[in-house]
Amino acid sequence: MTRARLFLVVESGVDVRLVEGLDERFELSILARRIEGGVEVSQPPKARVRVEIGPASRLGFARTVFKMLRQRRAEIDCVVVQGYGAAALAANLAGRVAGLRVLMLVCSPVEKYYLCRRAHADASKPFRRRELWALRMLARVNASAGQHYLVLSRHLSEVVRAHGTRRPVSVIPVYGVDTEIFSPARGETKRETKERLGLPATGSLIFFSSRVAPEKDAETLLRAVRALLDEGLDIWLLHRSGGFQSFIKDAARFGVAERVIATDAVHPHEQLPDDYRASDLCVQASREEGLGFSPLEALACGTPVVAASVGGLRETIIDGETGWSYPAGDVETLARCIEEALSDRDEAERRTANGRTLVRAHYDRLDVFNQLAEALKPSHGRGVSPAEYYERPAADN
């Protein structure tokens, strides 16, 4: 059977799990903007996917997108473009000219993320009012020029609809969670997993895997850890991301560096599941969030979650049901949630079991990519909301 030819446009880097999932179902080609000092695909894909690298400049990349889609229109059945920025506008305009089907894949609330810089900017990410204006204008123009949105959560659906679009919006949490790989430990205790990974075997291990950025709010978590250490809790903080060196500097600034283990990002399937299994708690301390996969992966591995009550996290980490939640930026409440989650093991186990049920029911990788493949057909179905799935019973472990 001939596979549809999918052209993926990547403006801000892409997770290898999305690349590999698409490659399983489509004849995939990728055009990615060059990321200076970073990587275009988070990890090398297992498959030999055709990846072309365009200019680092966003405007230069947008021109390349427009030109390439027009030139190769006979070789493309469908285009998926990341976000609703300059590259998306170029793809949408090229789609109109060349008669191509173009879908915008929205994984984050760009303007909301950018607004986090206003109060929490660093030297590398200053807040500029004109840039915020440009982001808002691009969002509105794409809302008019675009054909279809793919979004990860109901929250992101509300974000893009607020731009004024009347186009279809499918809620599909690509790339989902592989619940065979992200699963509770079998035949090994948590202590044994920690020892095997060279992690502290005593005390409680808290996992924070978010990238270092204003919207991810590492500062509030580090303050909460400092407060809990002052109270005498025996806790450690594990961090994996490309910005781990900045995280170490911040940890030193708050006087907790000796309790932090931080390294570069690890392969999402080869090591990350073991990190979750070794951890006693996962914290997602975002100020804004499109969906948040780390809490879902943690729950799938049987690890309790504390998360800020923002954005798409409010759809998955439900306080008292699937985890603990707290108001974003509230150090004291975050500290209390961490303490309760670590001390009340029975309650943590109950909430985590509910969370794993939710993940398996709505965020399983196979189901998600099936939904995506259906949405990319000319005659597509809609995405199913998390609320609908949460009411469905999942199969037992």
Residues 257-274: pLDDT tens digits?
Answer: 999 999 999 999 999 999
Q: Partners of 106 in the beta sheet?
A: 151
Domain identity same for 289 and 150? no
**Res. 377 pLDDT band, cuts 50 70 90:** confident
How confident is the model at residue 390, as a pLDDT?
Answer: 35
Domain membership of residue 107 as a residue range: 5-176+364-390
Domain identity same for 247 and 312? yes
pTM for the whole thing? 0.92
Q: pLDDT by residue (tens digit) across 117-135? A: 988 766 677 899 999 999 9
Instruction: Look at residue 392 and tell me whether its pLDDT is greater than 60.
Output: no
Residue 284 in domain = yes
Instruction: Look at residue 394 and tell me whether its pLDDT is greater than 60.
Output: no
- Identify the residue whose tokens are 């303007």: 111
Domain identity same for 241 and 258? yes
Instruction: Look at residue 385 and tell me whether its pLDDT is greater than 50.
Output: no
Residue 338 in domain = yes
Lowest mean pLDDT, pick from 19-28, 314-323, 370-379: 370-379
Q: What percent of the chain stands above pLDDT 70?
A: 94
Domain identity same for 214 and 131? no
DSSP notation for 239-293: EESTTHHHHHHHHHHTT-GGGEEEE----TTTTHHHHHHH-SEEEE--SS-S--H
**What are the CA-CA distances from residue 226 to residues 103, 199, 223 (Å)?**
45, 20, 5
Q: What CATH number did the domain enclosing 358 receive? A: 3.40.50.2000
Q: What percent of the chain stands above pLDDT 90?
A: 87
Domain count of the fold of the chain: 2
Domain identity same for 374 and 335? no
Domain identity same for 290 and 301? yes
**Res. 256 pLDDT band, cuts 50 70 90:** very high
Domain identity same for 140 and 255? no
Identify the top-confidence range among 43-47, 211-215, 350-354: 350-354
Domain identity same for 220 and 351? yes
Q: What is the mean pLDDT of residues 157-162?
A: 97
How far is the C-alpha of 182 from the C-alpha of 339, rounded, in Å? 25
Residue 223 in domain = yes
How far is the C-alpha of 102 from the C-alpha of 163, rounded, in Å? 18
Q: pLDDT by residue (tens digit) across 161-182? A: 999 999 999 999 999 999 999 9
Q: Which residues contact 228 (CB under 8 A, 6 or more apart)?
A: 235, 335, 338, 339
Q: Partners of 324 in the beta sheet?
A: 306
**What are the CA-CA distances from residue 99 to residues 31, 70, 92, 122, 213 (Å)?**
19, 9, 10, 43, 38
Q: Which two tokens stand for residue 33?
A: 């903007």
